[in-house]
Amino acid sequence: MSTDVKKDNIMNVDTVAMDDARSALVIIDQTRLPGEVHILSLTEQKDIWEAIYLLKVRGAPAIGVAAAIGIYLAAKGIQAKEYDVFYAQFKQAKDYLASARPTAVNLFWALDRMEQVVLDNKDKPVDEIKRLLHDEAVAIREEDIRVCRAIGEYGLTLIKDGDGILTHCNAGQLATTKYGTALAPIHLGVEKGMHFKVFTDETRPLLQGARLSAFELHSNGVDTTVICDNMASQVMKNGWVQAIFVGCDRVAANGDACNKIGTSGVAILAKHYGIPFYVCAPTSTIDMSIAHGDDIPIEERPAHEVTEMWYKQRMAPEGVKVYNPAFDVAENGLITAIVTEFGIARAPYDQSLREIFRRKEEAAKA
């Protein structure tokens, strides 16, 4: 089922939600933005898998929330009453959803967290396990809102009213449940009456900056200017940018940050012009099991995204080879700080990120 809504302020529309009564994952179809705000209610696992793969729902936190809701809905539909049979079917559904995207760690983090609920409650009736999975999916979504707001509050301490800010890709509310990560400081600043001048890289080839970041910032009343990716250097040279905020899909233990393709180039330019480069990363996106960015798997996307998508006619010769990596890695030496929900980490990241997780563990015990 799908519906269209008015394009007033996209901040008032849920990016990802659950309709338990209809056993549906409810998302904004981001492939149709900014032309139309189209809401999808997905009840079939193949449609949820496709929504993640085709970027109808995208952004690491939003993918995690969608996966949690999706696997709950899969579990809800399992008819088996015996635990072993239920778990086998649950595991099959989990592996299926996990195959949708290889890079965003939140997908696997959310699915693993949901699986742990099943493993920890094997002595309970299957119906009770389903109820606990529902509660965990809701908790993951609510935590995302709290995490993003906390990241926004910490990020807001790094900028001042009137600053020029550059961002790449979309790490705003459309990439999360609310506020976003990289755009959270801007949205929270708006709530507090602050004003910023934001430059959004269009972010080729899928144009998440032009289609998504610019759309949500502009609809929220933020002074927004779209630039082509190769214009970032000139904008920085002009002195128009005082800070750069980007999100990430995975951070390695040494602070290397994997984000949408083109991010590493922005980081290199920022280093050259002496502009602080901040990565906004919920701890669910920080993968301490990976030593450095070279070990992060990089998804390669179909060639047509470069040669044909968004064009009325093909814009490259037939038969030409296309290299289309979805992400690249900004090395830790290019990153001024990593902003998390438990504080701001700075180099050396192998130490500061461990401290962030220590604070997280203490908060969990409190």
pLDDT of residue 112: 97
Q: At CA 160, angle to CA 275 and CA 255, rounded to 5?
A: 45
Q: Give the pLDDT confidence score for residue 7 in this predicted structure.
A: 56
Token code pair at residue 260? 């949408």
Cα 166 to Cα 245: distance, rounded to the nearest angstrom: 7
Smallest CA-to-CA distance from 77 within 127, 132, 125 is with: 127
CB 190 within 8 A of CB 164: no
Q: Which amino acid is at 35?
A: G
Of 249, 256, 287, 328, the active-site residue reads: 249
pLDDT of residue 20: 98
> What pLDDT does 202 receive?
98
Q: At what angle do helices 60-76 and 83-98 cross, to 10 degrees?
A: 150
CATH superfamily entry for domain 158-365: Translation initiation factor eif-2b; domain 2 (3.40.50.10470)
- 2-147 folds as Four Helix Bundle (Hemerythrin (Met), subunit A) (1.20.120)
Question: Please, where in the chain does CATH 3.40.50.10470 lie?
Answer: 158-365
User: How far is the C-alpha of 223 from the C-alpha of 255, rounded, in Å?
Assistant: 31
Contact call for residues 245 and 176 (beta carbons, < 8 A): no
Low-confidence ranges of the chain (pLDDT < 70): 1-8
Per-residue confidence (pLDDT) for residue 103, from 0 to 100: 78
Of 249, 117, 275, which Cα lies nearest the Cα of 182? 249
Calculate ∠ Cα 144-221-342, nearest 5°: 25
Report the distance separating Cα 54 and Cα 2, nearest Å.
17
Give yes or no: 144 in active site: no
Please, where in the chain does CATH 1.20.120.420 lie? 2-147
